[in-house]
Every structure is written in C-alpha cells, then in structure tokens.
Structure 1
Amino acid sequence: MINNKLFHKLLLVAVLLLLVLLFGTAGFWFFSGKTASAVDALYMTVITITTIGFEEVIDLGGNPAGRTFTIVIALSGIGLITYLLTNLTAFIIEGELKDSFWRNRMEKKVKSIHDHYIVCGIGNLGISIIDELLSTGRDYVIVDQDRKRLLEIDEKFRNSVLIEGDAMEGTTLERAGLNKAAGLFAVTGDDNQNLIVSLTAKQAKPSIHVVAECGNPDHNAKMKMAGADTVISPSRIGGLRMASAMLRPTVVSFLDQMLREDNGDLRIEEVILPQNFTSCRIEQIDISSYPSLLLLAVSQGGKLHYNPPTTTILQAGDRLICMGKPAESLALENRLATS
C-alpha cells in the first residue's frame, strides 16, 4: 500500500540532509579558525538550517567568506527540510488514505455478496481452496493478518474480497460477513488457531458449516468438539492420494483430468432438494435434460444409495450426488427449488 517511489525520494532527501549537516559542521569548524568544538560547529549548522536563530557560538563577524558559507548552508538546509516535511506528510497521508479506501472497498464488496465462503488463512492450502471456489463460481472472502500476503493475493486473484484481521476474533469474522456466509474454512496452518476460529464461528453462527485443517490427527476430536463439522488432515489425504496413484493410476488419472480441465467445469457436486419439494421418482425430475450430469448416488437420512434405480422415491432434504458441470448442477437445483 505504500508508494515505493515516494519512499525512495524521502530516503534521498534524508541522505542529502545528513550530508548538509556534515558539510556545515566541517565548514563552521574551519571558519572558526579550527578552534570550535565539533558540538559547537554542529549546533551552528542546526540553528542555521532550522532558522531557530539562537545565539551564535561561533563569531563570523568580519568574516565575509564565513557569512557566505552560512547563506549557502541556510538555503540548502531550509530547502531540504521543507521538501522533506512536505513529502513526509504526503507519505503518511497517502498511506492512510490508501488503507482507508482499500478497507472501505473490501467492506462494500462483503455487503454485496451472500452465501459466500470465508477462507481463514492464505497459505498453500488456502490458495488451493480459492482456486476451487473460483473454478466453480462460488463467492468467497479471504481473512488473514498478513498485509503483504493479502496484497499478493489481490494481485494474483483479481476482484477477491480481502479482510485484514485476526480470524480468531468475532469482530473480524463479522466484517467478513459471517452472518450471511454459507461456510467457513479454518486453514491458518496452526491447529490451535484453527480450533479457536471454528469455536468463534460456531458461537457467532451455530448453523455455519465449518471445515477445519488439522495437522495433528490426535487433535481431530478436539476440533469437532470446538465446532468443526468436517476435519481434514492434509498429510493423511496426501498419503491416500499417493497410495491411490500407485495402486489405481487410471482412476487417479481420470480424476486429475476431470479437475484440471481448461474450463474447470467437471466436478462431483451435490444437489439439495428443497423443503417444498414434492416427493417423486428420480425419472420424474428429468436429469437427462442436463447433458453433463450423471447421478452417482442419493443421500437419504444420512444413508447413501449408490447408483439408485430411476424408480427411487425422492423427498425434501435428500441430496443428489452428481458428476458434471457445476453450472448444470446449480441450474437443476434452482429448477427444483422453484418448481
């Protein structure tokens, strides 16, 4: 947020001012007949360039060269100090204004979205989550304390909503729009912080769905007690992924291709049947009208039914597990919600 060009200007002026002080001190010492102390010579330089005008401790009366030297030092020093103070003021005001405008812009963005996802922490895991949210067209808000990291993310992911602050504090999560968020990711990279973030979020909004990172598998139970609905161990997931790549390379290759399509539009999604849904058979909701969708399973009362027959009766609250384009899954969900 700080203007580097202005900073370098200030640094240059500060160096020049230091040189004027050194040059002035040496000059007054010389024009005193080399009898003045270094402190007296520096004192003369300072009162000259700051126009304080206290008593002169080095008498330059009858010394035209010394007085000419004083004029040169005064003009140089006063000009540099004026320039330094002007730019220093601009430096401070510009930084504060930029920070204020940046915060206001982000807070306005938060107000304009809903059913978004809050990502607390932007390490490697957080960036992977952001990539997936972007690929599937979900709104998100990033929360982190590291200003430099936030600015890097702002450059990498344009139009991101960024909140600077401690995700363990309820006020920070409020600024991130917790009250209207669909879910929260606690991925700070620290198990203790993730636990507190989960607890804080659940206390503020019990219905929020929280997915927490847990580096130590021994902490999984504590994470869930703190409010995390799902606890993910990256090391365990990574190990399973590597084992699958060795034992089931074709399956892994298929999944990689599905997730790494240029358009990023092949995913396994879930479609939730709304509360006003009228019970009917699977064949009656006409999934075949969405070319990319393939129904893999139906979740009913927490129990999964894989490859369900088309005569299966669907009810409100059931979840359809489909593979296909997220846009078509969303279109099906919206149609079922309004039909």
Structure 2
Amino acid sequence: MKVAIAGAGAVGRSIARELLLNSHAVTLFERNTAHIDQESVPEATWVQADACELSNLEQAALQTFDVMVAATGDDKANLVVSLLAKTEFAVNRVVARVNDPRNEWLFGEDWGVDVAVSTPRILASLVEEAVSVGDLVRLMTFRQGQANLVELTLPSNTPLAGKPVRKLDLPRDAALVTILRGGRVIVPQSDDPIEGGDELIFIAPAEAEPALHQAMQIQ
C-alpha cells in the first residue's frame, strides 16, 4: 500500500515507522525545514513541501497513492489536505488527525475525511473501556459510513454466558467483529459461545446503539 503522510512531526514520523514495519511504502510531506529529519525514518520518502498546496501534491502524483494521512498539528491544515486529497486526487482513503476535539464535527465527508482520529477522545474512550462493565463505549467513528466502533464488556454473571454467537439478537445494522477474552483475540464464528467477562467489539451506526445495548441484555 502506498501512503502519503502530511506532517512529519512526532505523530507523523511514528505513523510512518509503524506502516513501514508492515511493508507499506510511505512518503512524508513536511513544509518546516526544522522538522526534516530523514535519519529518523530513513526508509520513507521525504518531500519538503506544503501539502496544502495543490501544485505540490500534483508534483508528487498524489493520485497514485492509496491513502492520505493528514497528521499535522493544525486542524485547518488537516482539513485542507483531506479535501484536496479526496476531491482533486480521488485518494481512496483519507485519515485525518483531530487536534482539538471541539473541531471534530468538521472532520466528515464534506471535507473529504473518511476516518477522523481524535487522540483525546481515544484516550478518554480507553479510560472508560478500562472501568466500564455493561456499558457501550464508543472507541472510534468512521465518518464516511456514519458507523462507530463500540466496545461492551460483559459482566461475569451475564445471562448470555454459553450462548452461541449465531443466537445473539443483534440489530440488523450491527456486527460483532471481535471477542477479546483474556489474552486472546477471537474472530467470532457462528458456534463460538459467549462468556462472562468477554469484551465484545461491534461496528454499528449511532442509531442502532440503544437496540444493541438492549440486545446484549445489559440494563
């Protein structure tokens, strides 16, 4: 996969390293010469240019990339990069960093964002996930489809214990994608039984969350 990252600060470089470890091709765009540090991510292609400038993206042939990651520390810049990537170059997947949670409402389809990642919101969700049993915790929102990644930890005495996945009465638009059980990550099959203490990861639209909560028999 060919990935462009706008912003080569600490966040952008960290994303690049992870992607390179997974054998993806990464190009880092950075306008600030003080942030150009090719030795920190030597396997990446570095471009000293402002990713908010259409001509710079044209020169880099952004239309040949699979993913654009807008990872600067400026929400306005991330929105501009996202919009250009989607509307001018038809990049298939645009992921944008949200620095200020108050701006999160902007990071949607109208600005070309497929996935908005808010670090403060993710950290808050992880805190909630660590202490919440029986409640739906929203981990991430996929803006393009208006679907959410949500987590629910079953209590040890759940009435669902022993029930196979196929018999869960889930809302039509909700899907169980993962079961976390102890140190295991389980891709659920129809005959897999539910156990008390399971952490269940679902994808569901916001309007289906109340019905999902009720279906899991959590009051």
TM-score class, shorter-chain normalisation, is: 0.5 to 0.7
What amino acid is the match of 2:15?
Answer: I
Paired position in structure 2 for 1:189: 73
The separation in 1 between residues aligned to 2:121 and 2:23, in whole angstroms, is: 28
Answer 1 or 2: which has greater strand percent: 2
Distance 1:134 1:304, change over 3 A: same
**Root mean square deviation, CA, Å:** 2.5
Q: Which residue is 1:159 aligned to? A: 43
Match 1:230 to one of 76, 92, 115: 115
2:96 aligned partner: 212
Amino acid at match of 1:308: Q
SS class of match (2:13): helix
In the alignment, does 2:180 pair up with 1:309? no
Give the secondary structure class of the aligned counterpart of 1:210: strand
Q: CA deviation at 1:127?
A: 1.9
Conserved? CA contact 1:118–1:141, under 8 Å? yes
Cα distance in 1 for residues equivalent to 2:100 and 2:175: 29
State the match for 2:4 in structure 1: 118
Shift of 1:305: 4.4
| Match of residue 200 from structure 1 | 84
Q: 1:237 to 1:305 in 2, by over 3 A?
A: closer
Partner of 1:177: 61
Cα pair distance change 1:196/1:302, threshold 3 Å:
farther
The alpha carbon displacement at 1:238 in A equals 2.1
Q: Distance in 1 between matches of 2:90 and 2:58?
A: 14
Distance of 2:6 and 2:176 partners within structure 1: 34
With normalisation by structure 2, the TM-score equals: 0.58
- How far the C-alpha of 1:163 sits from its partner, in A, is 0.7
| Higher normalized helix content (fraction of residues) | 1
In 2: Cα distance, 1:222 partner to 1:230 partner: 12
The one of 14, 22, 36 aligned to 1:128: 14
Contiguous gaps of at least 5 residues in structure 1: 1-114, 249-300, 311-339
SS of equivalent residue, structure 2 residue 189: coil
Structure 1 pair 198–138 and aligned structure 2 pair: CA distance change class (3 A): same
Q: Are 1:170 and 1:201, in contact at CA under 8 Å, matched by a contact in 2?
A: no
Gaps of 5+ in 2: 133-171, 178-187, 192-219
Contact 2:68 2:91 in 1 (8 A): no
Identity %: 26
Give the greater-gyration-radius structure (CA).
Answer: 1
TM-score, normalising length: structure 1: 0.38
